[in-house]
Amino acid sequence: MKRHHIIIINPDEMRWDSMGHTGSPAAHTPFIDEFVSSEAVSFDRAYCQNPVCVPSRCSFLTGLYPHVHGHRTMRFFAA
């Protein structure tokens, strides 16, 4: 059985329309565009659990809501 490699690119402060393959005429992202057209997946509808980046990333990586372990703000501590 062939095992797939998974690479998650989770940039900070990047809008959905800031890459060439999503239709932005001003974006110059040839490597990401080529990667998406050849073997990657680009989601055009993704939702986050929190509008702040740190709690949202914690939720994305653990699969849990941000408040479960106290990740409600940019600070790292259990509330």
Which domain covers residue 73, as residue numbers? 47-79
Q: For the whole model, what pTM was predicted?
A: 0.60
Task: Identify the pLDDT of residue 42.
Answer: 85
Task: Identify the pLDDT of residue 7.
Answer: 82
Task: Identify the pLDDT of residue 76.
Answer: 56
Helices (H), the chain: 30-38, 53-62
Q: Give the model confidence (pLDDT) of 22-70 as tens digits.
A: 888 898 889 989 998 998 888 877 777 788 878 888 888 888 888 887 7
Task: Identify the pLDDT of residue 43.
Answer: 80
Question: Does some domain include residue 76?
Answer: yes
Question: Does some domain include residue 69?
Answer: yes
52 vs 20: which has the higher pLDDT: 20
Q: How many domains does the chain have?
A: 1
* C-alpha span between 55 and 75 (Å, rounded): 9
Question: Does some domain include residue 78?
Answer: yes
